Structures are given as C-alpha cells and as structure tokens.
Amino acid sequence: MAHFPQPQRNVRAPRVRIPDQAQVVFVADNRQIPAVLNKLSSTGGTACLARKCPVGLLAELRLNTTSGSVQALVEILGRPDPIVKEQPFRFVAMSDEDQQLLNSTLARLRRQGFGDAVQHRTF
C-alpha cells in the first residue's frame, strides 16, 4: 500500500544530517539527476543536485541505505535562498516498506549523533 506522508503543521519533522556525501539519484522525465544528500526527514530533505530543477518537478528518488534501497516520489521545492545550492524536496508517495526503511535509517542516524539539535515549531 502506498504511503503519503502528512506533515503535522505545528511540529517540524526531526531532521538528520547525512554524513559522507551520500550519493542519491533523482529520476525525472526518464533522465537521471545525480545528487548529494545533505539532510533528511520523514517528510523530505535537501540535496545538491547536479543541475537546477524547476519548482514543482515530480521525480523518483533512489536512496541506498545500510538497511536497503528506498524509492519514493518527491516534489522539488523552491530554494529559500537562490545563492544556496541545496534544493529542498518533499516526499509525495512511497510504499509502506520504503517508509519503514526510511524511518529505521533516520532512527539509526539520530542514534549516531547526526540529528539536528534544535526542534523548531511553527504556528
């Protein structure tokens, strides 16, 4: 069954920093876009893509973890600062198995000390 992450509007999903310049691949319009993953959460993340992608682009994300490969449909979001090379994205859909792999990967990275120290709330 497909999983559609629903963020809690008043609580930001905990982020983790990704160590060792982890390589990921975005696939859009049958073209691979290599990227380096910087941050990740249960609702999305940021990556430095090999080329700039338009806001709203839907792409498949392929992420290899120590627990297995995670595939998800993502939407490319706008950069908050045009000078920053990080491109934010949000998860649109993924299988239940991929969601479980993502959650176990996030938990492992937090245990290893890669979690963001500050939790932000929005109102």
Task: Give the single-character DSSP code of 79.
Answer: -
pLDDT digits (tens, 9 = 90+) for 41-76: 999 999 999 888 899 999 999 998 877 899 999 999
Gap between the Cα atoms of 109 and 94, Å rounded: 20
Listed as ranges, residues in the chain with pLDDT below 70 are 1-11, 117-123
Whole-model pTM over 0.85: no
Please tell me the predicted confidence (pLDDT) of residue 9: 58
Residue type, 37: L
Q: Is 105 helix (H, G, I), strand (E, B) or coil?
A: helix
Please tell me the predicted confidence (pLDDT) of residue 122: 43
Please tell me the predicted confidence (pLDDT) of residue 94: 95
Gap between the Cα atoms of 117 and 100, Å rounded: 23
* Domains, in order of start, for the chain: 13-111 (2.40.10.220)
Please tell me the predicted confidence (pLDDT) of residue 123: 38
